[in-house]
Amino acid sequence: MNIKHKRKACLWGLAFAALTFGSALTARADIVVVSGVNNQGTDNVLLNPATNVTTVTGTVGPDNLLVNFTSTSGSGLLSANPSGQATVSGGTGNDPFSQLSFELASSDLFTRAVFNINAGTDGSVVIHVEGLNITGGSFEDDFTVDANGENFFTVTSINGQLIDSISLTATGGATFTDVRQVRLGGITAAVPEPETYALLMAGLGAIGFVARRRKQKSR
């Protein structure tokens, strides 16, 4: 093979590698949101009763991890009824409401969430997901909701992604009477940021240096 052909073959190889690597990055950037219920690996969020509070709380899983629910619509007040279908609804000045966010209070992460939006009027909901290993740090898409009390959604992270928080925003004329039957799964400890890793490594390095100095002096 002459030099010209070798260069051409090399360029094609680089192009193929770039396409393959790029495809892998795209695959890792997926958050899957489907209408319906996939409860596999999830636990109910057990709500604490509340009336007209800025933060509704609940617990999830065998370790009873704390879950926070907040709203930026209206007065921002929320209420919670743990009985029956376990609903989070709007409080005074926020009923019906149009925005709700939830996350683990411990900054831990999860890989699946299931919830049912009880819409007061027809329209759409923008589901916004914040997390790690997601391109740009977040995912967002809009979905249709009907005023029939049955708007189940399952949000799942794949390929090593982790979810930090989920925000639901009503659009297209929709309003929320309540959000109910929230479940979370795949809970994992928070992953330190790169800066935290750097500080940790620097600290370990300093400890190692001091240990070596002491060992040398003791000889």
What pLDDT is stored for residue 135 in this prediction? 85
Mean per-residue pLDDT over the chain, rounded: 82
DSSP β-bridge partners for residue 42: 185
| pLDDT for residue 194 | 53
Report, in this order, helix, strand and coil percent for the chain, each rounded to 5: 25, 45, 30
Beta bridge partners of 179: 88, 117
The ranges of the chain with pLDDT < 70 are 1-29, 190-219
Sign of the alpha-carbon torsion through 171, 172, 176, 182: negative
Q: Which residues contact 135 (CB under 8 A, 6 or more apart)?
A: 25, 29
pLDDT digits (tens, 9 = 90+) for 153-203: 999 999 899 999 999 999 999 999 999 999 999 999 865 545 544 444 555
Topology, domain 30-192: Jelly Rolls (2.60.120)
Q: What confidence score (pLDDT) does residue 30 get?
A: 81
Phi, psi at 16, each rounded to 5°: -60, -45
Q: CA torsion sign, 17 to 20 to 23 to 27? A: negative
The confidence score (pLDDT) of residue 218 equals: 58
Element (H, E) at 204: helix 194-217
Coil, helix or strand at residue 102: strand
Task: Provide the phi-psi class of 74: left if phi over 0, else alpha when psi is between -120 and 50, else beta.
Answer: left
The pLDDT score that the predictor gives to residue 12 is 38
| Residue 189 in tokens | 């400890």
pLDDT computed for residue 212 by the predictor: 58
CA nearest neighbour of 163 among 137, 144, 145: 137
Kindly list the domain boundaries of the chain, sorted by start residue.
30-192
* Predicted TM-score (pTM) of this structure: 0.75
Contact 70, 101 (CB under 8 A): yes
CA–CA distance, 134 with 46 (Å, rounded to integer): 28
Position 17 scores a pLDDT of 37
